[in-house]
């Protein structure tokens, strides 16, 4: 028996919004530590890694490890039927070929359940080692979303250059060029609003705007985003999900022709 | 390099 109940059901709605444009299907791997999902987008340029810890749920039971392959469009359709304040419960029997989503309104007056067929997905998993990055940048997630949106008007790719002075986002295209520089916040009143840079070595890498824009669909999950970069390895864009886990996106840098 | 295999260039398949 698998059962995961979340009073803050809107978290699951936001998680689906954060992955459904990038992934068409994915496997939710559930064990007694929680729910994990790892999947590459169709073109294998980026990778999504989601972790929701068991202790972040209001009730969590997983008697046997189960892997539930799901069509994410279908999951998104179902979760759209949940109210923002609803409690969401996912449950499945051992060896089941369906999963059930139960939504309860705050006053318990409306209870809905949606049963969805599971899929057998034979997807590759990649081993991502713990890595020390040359630069990590923490900044408001809404600011990062704004920068990605603004710069993608200028070109298909964006250069992110991090030095100890700050971080510069640049794009160049037919209409011209754009540069946005963010300095490290001098004094931090509210950590959520700060730009904080930790740098061992300066790094400059180029990424596809389209994917960065997909990643910013996670903005509502966290007020802050963390970018981690080292030369010649994928960028990590991480949104922490309060008290329950995180979603990380990995994006391979563009290599100059 | 095939674009298809970009991510698995960086991380080993399990």
> Over its length of 14 residues, how does chain B's per-residue pLDDT go in tens digits?
445 567 888 998 88
pLDDT, block means (10 residues), chain A with 257 residues:
96 96 96 96 92 98 96 96 97 93 96 96 86 96 98 96 95 96 88 93 96 98 98 96 97 81
Residues of A in contact with B6 (CB under 8 A): 43-45, 252
Judged by CB atoms within 8 Å, which residues 1-14 of B form the interface with A?
3-14
Tell me what pLDDT residue A10 has. Answer: 96
Q: Report yes or no: A124 and B13 within 8 Å, Cβ to Cβ.
A: yes
- 3-class secondary structure for A24-54? CEEEEEEECCEEEEEEECCCCCEEEEEEEEH
Whole-angstrom distance, CA of residue A100 vs CA of residue A104? 13
Whole-angstrom distance, CA of residue A41 vs CA of residue A211? 10
What does the buried/exposed string (b/e) look like for A138-165 if buried means 16 or more CB atoms within 10 Å of the residue's CB? bbbbbbbbebbeebbebbebbbbbbeee
CA distance A123 to chain B (A): 11
Radius of gyration of the CA atoms of chain B, in A: 7
Q: Report yes or no: A74 and A116 within 8 Å, Cβ to Cβ.
A: yes
Tell me what pLDDT residue A164 has. Answer: 87
Tell me what pLDDT residue A154 has. Answer: 96
Interacting residues of A130 by C-beta distance below 8 A, sequence separation 6+: none
Nearest chain B residue (CA) to A131: B11
Q: What angle do CA A74, A123, A45 make, to 5 degrees?
A: 90
Whole-angstrom distance, CA of residue A122 vs CA of residue A126? 13
Interface residues of A toward B, Cβ cutoff 8 Å, are: 40, 43-47, 124-129, 233-234, 250, 252
- Alpha carbon A223 to its chain centroid, in Å, reads 13
First to last CA, chain A: 52
Whole-angstrom distance, CA of residue A205 vs CA of residue A229? 8
The two structure tokens encoding residue A214? 């997909």
Phi and psi at A124, nearest 5°, equal -75, 140
Residues of A in contact with B7 (CB under 8 A): 40, 44-47, 126, 234, 250, 252
């Amino acid at each position: 028996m698998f059962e995961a109940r979340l009073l803050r059901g809107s978290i699951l709605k936001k998680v689906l919004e954060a992955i459904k444009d990038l992934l068409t299907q994915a496997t939710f791997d559930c064990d007694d530590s929680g729910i994990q999902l790892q999947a590459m987008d169709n073109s294998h340029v980026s990778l999504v890694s989601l972790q929701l810890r068991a202790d972040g749920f209001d009730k969590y039971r997983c008697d046997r490890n189960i892997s539930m392959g799901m069509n994410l469009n279908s999951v998104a359709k179902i979760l759209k039927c949940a109210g923002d304040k609803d409690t969401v419960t996912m449950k499945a029997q051992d060896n089941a070929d369906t999963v059930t989503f139960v939504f309860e309104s705050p006053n318990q007056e409306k209870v809905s359940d949606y049963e969805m067929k599971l899929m057998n997905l034979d997807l590759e998993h990649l081993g991502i080692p713990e890595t020390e990055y040359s630069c990590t940048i923490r900044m408001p997630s809404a600011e990062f979303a704004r920068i990605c949106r603004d710069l993608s008007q200028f070109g298909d790719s964006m250069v992110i250059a991090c030095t100890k002075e700050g971080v510069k986002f640049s794009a160049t295209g037919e209409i011209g060029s754009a540069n946005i520089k963010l300095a490290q916040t001098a004094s931090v009143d509210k950590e959520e609003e700060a730009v904080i840079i930790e740098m061992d070595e300066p790094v400059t890498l180029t990424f596809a705007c389209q994917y960065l824009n997909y990643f910013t669909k996670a903005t509502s999950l966290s007020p802050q985003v963390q970018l981690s970069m080292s030369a010649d390895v994928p960028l990590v864009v991480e949104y922490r999900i309060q008290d329950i886990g995180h979603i990380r996106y990995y994006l391979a840098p563009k290599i100059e022709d | 390099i095939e674009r298809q295999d970009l991510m698995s260039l960086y991380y080993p398949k399990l």
